[in-house]
Amino acid sequence: MNEARDTALAPRQLTVEDLKQKALHVRDIAESGVRTTLKQDTTRVLIVGAVAVVAVVSLAYYLGTRRGWDAVNDLG
């Protein structure tokens, strides 16, 4: 009876398969984190790019209308 109790209390030995499964789990977590980070970075880059394009177009429109109005005012 003592042998059964000692066996039950003995720590389980790690096997190569245990280590392989743990390594695969860690790899999956790391890949998931990288995918999430890349998605967030891509979204940020796209948003910043869109804002920059809108700002440049707005500035060009503003400067174009000022020149247009200046030309109209010079005629009169």
Length, in residues, of the chain: 76
Place of tokens 């700002």: 55
**Which pLDDT score is estimated for 68?**
63
- Please state the pTM of the whole predicted model: 0.49
Dist. CA 76–CA 73, nearest whole Å: 5
Place of tokens 């890949």: 31
**Which pLDDT score is estimated for 62?**
84
Alpha-helix residue ranges (DSSP H) falling in 1-76: 2-9, 16-75
Dump pLDDT digits (tens) for 13-41: 878 888 899 999 999 999 998 888 888 88
Dist. CA 68–CA 73, nearest whole Å: 9
DSSP assignment, residue 14? P
Average pLDDT of span 30-54:
90
